[in-house]
């Protein structure tokens, strides 16, 4: 997996090499911003600073970067199996945001961080790249590094959406992807640790059309959005 993502690192553009996805939005950040707006509503303290946040499988650091551009002032850390992707984090980080996040390579599912290191952990569009048999190890690791009472947010492509399946099947970086629905994520998390769980569906409207954002917020209950978010609060 590391070699596969290293190959795409320098040219990674969030899947906009797919013409159907480009019809929905002409910048990768527009798609990421759907998640960051939702996350900021769940975690208003992100704007205050002081939270230790890990982006697990951070890739080129785009989620952390868009969060910071949206006013996030957390203590960001990223990790990934691809050292090529990690090299992109600092290269793509705007100087106006100050120092780039700390990064660390993963050894498979395992990270180098101590138990209970983070207040918030995010994992965005990662699990569909992880072989099914290896996903339990990822769930265990997420629970290990999260503090008691901490919050974990899993963002994934929704396989119930036919347009998502069409795009994923035709995107080079997703060649080996195996999509999973929200119920699989929920069960996988609960097999690894004790959580209070909730979930929302996101991205019903094209992300590039700002005046339709309100429609998305009205439809979070409907399991047909292009993305979903599973929120998990770890037992204290």
Element (H, E) at 39: helix 28-42
Token pair 């990768």: residue: 28
Domains in the chain: boundaries: 2-234
Given this model, what pLDDT does residue 12 score? 64
Do 202 and 38 meet the contact criterion of CB atoms below 8 Å apart?
Answer: yes
Question: Could you read off the pLDDT tens digit of each residue along the chain, which spans 236 residues?
Answer: 554 565 555 666 555 555 555 445 457 899 999 999 999 999 999 999 999 999 999 999 999 999 999 999 999 999 999 999 999 999 999 999 999 999 999 999 999 999 999 999 999 999 999 999 999 999 999 999 999 999 999 999 999 999 999 999 988 888 889 999 999 999 999 999 999 999 999 999 988 888 889 999 999 999 999 999 999 999 99
Do 201 and 224 meet the contact criterion of CB atoms below 8 Å apart?
Answer: yes
* 73 backbone dihedrals φ, ψ, rounded to 5°: -125, 30
Strand partners, 124: 155
* 39 backbone dihedrals φ, ψ, rounded to 5°: -65, -40
Given this model, what pLDDT does residue 175 score? 85
Given this model, what pLDDT does residue 27 score? 75
Residues 2-234: name the CATH superfamily.
Vaccinia Virus protein VP39 (3.40.50.150)
Q: Are strands 146-157 and 118-124 parallel, antiparallel or unpaired?
A: parallel
Rounded Cα distance, 236 and 231, in Å = 16
**What token pair was written down for 83?**
């050292």
Taking the model in full, what pTM does it have? 0.91
Rounded Cα distance, 141 and 135, in Å = 10
């Amino acid at each position: 997996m590391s070699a596969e993502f290293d190959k795409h690192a320098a040219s990674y553009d969030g899947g906009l090499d797919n013409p159907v996805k480009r019809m929905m939005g002409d910048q990768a950040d527009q798609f990421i911003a759907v998640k960051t707006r939702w996350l900021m509503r769940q975690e208003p303290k992100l704007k205050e600073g002081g939270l230790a946040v890990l982006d697990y499988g951070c890739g080129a650091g785009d989620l952390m970067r868009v969060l910071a551009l949206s006013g996030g002032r957390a203590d960001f850390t990223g990790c990934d199996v691809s050292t090529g992707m990690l090299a992109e984090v600092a290269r793509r980080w705007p100087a106006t945001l100050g120092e780039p996040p700390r990064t660390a390579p993963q050894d498979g599912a395992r990270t180098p961080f101590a138990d209970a290191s983070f207040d918030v952990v995010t994992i965005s569009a990662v699990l569909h790249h992880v072989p099914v048999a290896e996903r339990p190890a990822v769930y265990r690791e997420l629970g290990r590094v999260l503090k008691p009472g901490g919050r974990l947010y899993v963002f994934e492509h929704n396989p119930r959406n036919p347009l998502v399946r069409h795009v994923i099947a035709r995107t080079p970086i997703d060649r080996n992807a195996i999509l999973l629905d929200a119920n699989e994520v929920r069960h996988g998390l609960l097999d690894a640790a004790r959580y209070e769980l909730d979930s929302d569906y996101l991205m019903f409207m094209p992300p590039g059309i700002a005046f339709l954002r309100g429609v998305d917020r009205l439809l979070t209950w409907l399991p047909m959005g292009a993305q979903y978010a599973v929120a998990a609060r770890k037992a204290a």
